[in-house]
Amino acid sequence: MKTKLNIITVFLILFGIISVQNATAQAPNPHPAHEALKGLQPFIGNWAGEFKAFGGFEGLEKGRIVTGTERVKWILNKTAVQFTWDNKFKDDGKPFNFGTGIITLDPVTKKLNWNSFGYDGEVYWTGKGVGEVKNGLLHFDVEENTINKTNTKYQSTRSKPNKKMTVIQHNNLVQNGKKIGDLNEIKLTRVPFEKKPTQSGVSAGEAEKITAEITQLTEQWSQVFANKDFDHLKRIWADDFSYTMPDGIVFDKKSGLADIEEESDTLTSASCVAFKARVYSKNLVIGNGDHHEAGKDKDGKPFSRKFRFTNVWVRKNGKWQVVRGHASLLK
């Protein structure tokens, strides 16, 4: 009896081990996206450096020194990696270029996909690419298109960080069928992550969410005169709204909406540029940036105008509204 029991026990144990091994071997990888992107781990972090403005792309000038910052981070439970850059001229602090891009796994080809957008100078663009990480080198074949229908194709490479430094190169540029060649390299050094202090009890995550909401509302405001969506202003201008124009004229919600309905200018383009939001509390935000617009006046004469604005946003009854604002005309 004891012998039979031992044989049965051994059989059950072996059967259990084999079953577990088979189940493990047959179980699908629960995190295929993260596994495919693990080669990007060395690039995660904050980066900074100075380089010469490289031109090449529509909207970018060449020659001046640029101060660059970049943040690379995992997002969505480490199923994608986001790159965000903000580069400014060292001498005057004006934007050189800024944007963001996300790398994801293509479930069909198993290649890495790159999708991005941003501004080169004052020119808006979007981009896409396909690439891989091989021998520590991040490589993408990229295609970008601007708001002005300029098409640019190129190869983008980034070296594996060596002693806290990575080198970015844009090679073999072809713009609207014309060969431009290689651009000068960009060297960035890893810098410590600076935690932004919470503001009046607002967590970093909540502040980021509020910033995104205010940014979207502001960008929609910039488009109002181009798409004639005046109802948007009725929603975001508070009842006690007051705004000061570059010429010193102050208008409230009622008079502002009345003036808009009588507006004779026709806009062909309008955009919000270099917008930033400062979250002071869960109910108070200060937003500032530039508004660019172009079009024709009532006589058909073309114009192009640039403004710098500051707006005070307050959350009222769960909705964000502007209570005060000011705009200055830029030369």
Residue 217 domain-assigned? yes
> Residue 321: what residue type?
Q
* 182 plus 232 within the same structural domain: no
Residue-wise pLDDT tens digits, 21-75? 444 444 455 588 999 999 999 999 999 999 999 999 999 999 999 999 999 999 9
* 213 plus 270 within the same structural domain: yes
**Domain final residue, candidates 141, 170, 191:** 191
Residue 39 structural domain: 34-191
**Domain final residue, candidates 133, 161, 191:** 191
Residue-wise pLDDT tens digits, 225-279? 777 788 999 999 999 999 999 999 999 999 988 887 777 788 888 888 889 999 9
pTM, two decimal places: 0.56
Distance CA 233, CA 166 (A): 45
Residue 123 domain-assigned? yes
Q: DSSP per residue over 173-236, as a string?
A: EEETTEEEE----EEEEEE---PPPPBTTB-HHHHHHHHHHHHHHHHHHHTHHHHT-THHHHHH
* 42 plus 187 within the same structural domain: yes
* 248 plus 186 within the same structural domain: no
Residue-wise pLDDT tens digits, 167-215? 999 999 999 999 999 999 999 999 886 555 555 567 888 888 999 999 9
Residue-wise pLDDT tens digits, 153-178? 999 999 988 878 999 999 999 999 99
* 58 plus 103 within the same structural domain: yes
- pLDDT band for position 223 (50/70/90)? confident
How many folded domains does the chain comprise? 2
- Percent of the chain scoring above 90 in pLDDT: 66
- pLDDT band for position 2 (50/70/90)? very low
* 47 plus 171 within the same structural domain: yes
Query: What's the CATH code of the domain at 96?
Result: 2.40.128.20
**Domain final residue, candidates 160, 191, 222:** 191
